[in-house]
Every structure is written in C-alpha cells, then in structure tokens.
Amino acid sequence: MSSFPLRSRAPRSRTLGQLAGEIGADVPTLGSSIEIRGMAPLDRAGEGDLGLLSSASYVHMASESMASALLVSRSLVAEAGDALAAGPGRTPRPVLVVDDAHVAMRRILELLFPELPPEPGIHPTAVVHPTAMLGNQVQVGPYAVIEEDVRIGNRTRIGAHVVVGAGAELGDAVTLLPQVVIYPGVRIGNHVTLHSGVRVGVDGFGYVYEEGSHRHIPHVGGCRIEDDVEIGANCCIDRGSIGDSRIGAGARLDNLVHLGHNTVVGAGTMLAAQVGSAGSARIGRGVVAGGQVGIGGHLVVGDGARLAGQAGIISDVSAGETVMGFPARPRMEFLRSAAATQKVPGLLREMRSLRARVEELESDRGVEGSK
C-alpha cells in the first residue's frame, strides 16, 4: 500500500491530435501524430514535451524552445507570429491554439497524469478503534490512528501517521496526506484535500487575565470544513471557543495559513501563503487574499474583496473593495500615498535650500539695517 502518489508518476502519453480533440483545441495543421508525454516551461521543454505559452512575457522564448509542440492562448497568436511557426533551426513546429492556455494546461495534465484510485485496506500498523465506522474503499496508511466514534465516508484516503480524533466525521473522497491531525469532533465534507502537516480543530489563542496570570478559556466549539476545500501544508485551523469555526465550500488555502478561533471563511475564497486571521474574523465569499495578509479579530471582509499581499486589515473591508498596505487602504488611495512618499526626499532637499535662502536674505537685511 503506497503512502500515495495521488497521480500517476508515469505519463499516459497521447498524440497531439488526440489532445486537441479531448480539450477542444483547434486541430493542428501539422504534427497530429506527435507523441506528447508531458508539459514543461519553454526554456526547459524537450522532445515529447508540450511547451506552455500563456503570457506575452515569454513570447521571445518560443522560437528557441526545444518543445515538440506549443500550447498557446489564442490572444497571443498574432503577437507571437513567426516564433510559433518554427523552432530552433527554423524547423516547422506544431501548435495547439486554445482560448486559455492555463485552463487547457490543467485539462492536459489531468489526461497525462490521471489521479490514481484509492488502494482500499488498512495497513497492519494502523490503529483503528472498534467503534469507528469506515465506508467502502477506504485506504488507511501506516501508523495512522483513528479514534473512537469516528465516521469516515467512501473512497477516503488516510495517509501515514495521520490522527483522526474521537467523534470526527469525514465525508466521501476525502484525502488526508501524511501527518495530518484532525482533532476530536471536527466535521469535514466531501472531496476535501488536506496536505501534509495540517492541523484542524486546535484550541484557539483564547485567554483571560485573572489573578495575575493568563488563564486559558476552554474551547468547546467545533470546526467545520465544507465540500471541495483544499488546504495546503502546515496550515492550522482553530476550533471555536463557543460556536464553530467554518471554511466554506470550494475555498482554497495555501501553505502556512492560520485561522483563529471562530473564524468563518466564505465559499470560494482563496487565501495565499502565511495569511493569518485573529479570532472571530468573518471573511466573505469569493475573497482573494495575497501572501502574509493579516486580518484583525472580529473584523468583516465583504464578499469579493481583494486584499493585496502583506495588507494589514485593522477595520472592516467592504464587499468588492481592493485594499493595500498597512493600515490597509483602498487601492488608489494607497498608490497615491506611495507616489507622494517617493517625492519626500526631493521636497526635503528643496525645503532645506529654501530655508538656507531665507536665512541668507534675513542676514543680508540685518546687515543693511545696521548701516
């Protein structure tokens, strides 16, 4: 029993013509029978690779790429021109033209490297409590621990050294990669993926100062992760102190995200690496937060808001608003302020020059007055 690859390591090669038909690309005018075994950046692609050209920034690399064929966004065809028509040595080269090369890339990679089905069974070193209920085709890896009264749905994969705490519930087709820890009572929906090292349902950073010391508040709330959520490696999701923390359906969390107790994340929200929210923050639906954004406790970030990397959120953000900087401000206000800041050194030099001139004039006036 593997401790998973989740996808085939060996590519399921296809001809360029087959790929065109399967992803809805324009039929290539040449090279339909070329075998494609993988995808690679233009500067690293070789024989059997499909080179990705999705940005005008890389057009200059296309003509020198050793890729057997190119995958190109339709909007770049005219700009790329001769760079598409011929590779090194001006040899004609096939091109797959699609509406969006990144969307097509995802589909192609799924075809070349398909997801592997679970390997049902319980590894002999795993510990499964007799009251735990496991669905059909569940895979439990080496040294995993599944405690009492756990409920696990069909086709779920439990990786090596995973711990699923008492009373936790996991839906269908959940994937817990090695060393994930699910604390007691956590509820996880269907088609959820938690990458290595994730901790869900941890007690929050909740204390009261009493009798000369910080005393921990019991965290008796829960933590709920809805369907189709993916959480990156080493994220920590605190449980509620009273009431639940919740991550909405379709949310995506990058590595090293921390969500404090009672935080609510709306459906379809994306949080980049090292985003942190203090307790009881409310992050709306479809929000995008760049890396290292910090969100203060008890604040509300409205649906569809955009939080630029390293923004410090110290007040509510309206729905659809884009904010930047610390303290976070509306985008245009921040940019105007940043532009003005760039002028400060010059203004200081000018001020010093003017001050010197004023002092010189006053000195001259004093000399004239004494005559």
Residue among 285, 278, 325 at smallest CA distance from 301: 285
Q: What are phi and psi of 258, to 5 degrees?
A: -125, 130
Please give the DSSP secondary-structure letter assigned to residue 340.
Answer: H
Q: Which of 129, 161, 261, 298 is catalytic?
A: 261
Residue 120 near residue 140 (C-beta atoms within 8 A): no
230-268 in b/e form (b: 16+ CB < 10 A) is ebbbbbbbbbbbeebbbbbbbbbbbbbbbbbbbbbbbbb
Q: What are phi and psi of 353, to 5 degrees?
A: -65, -45
Residue among 298, 304, 310 at smallest CA distance from 322: 304
261 tagged catalytic = yes
Token digits of residue 165: 């705490």
**Distance of alpha carbon 55 from alpha carbon 141, whole angstroms:** 41
Residue 95 near residue 112 (C-beta atoms within 8 A): no
For the annotated catalytic residues, the residue numbers are: 261
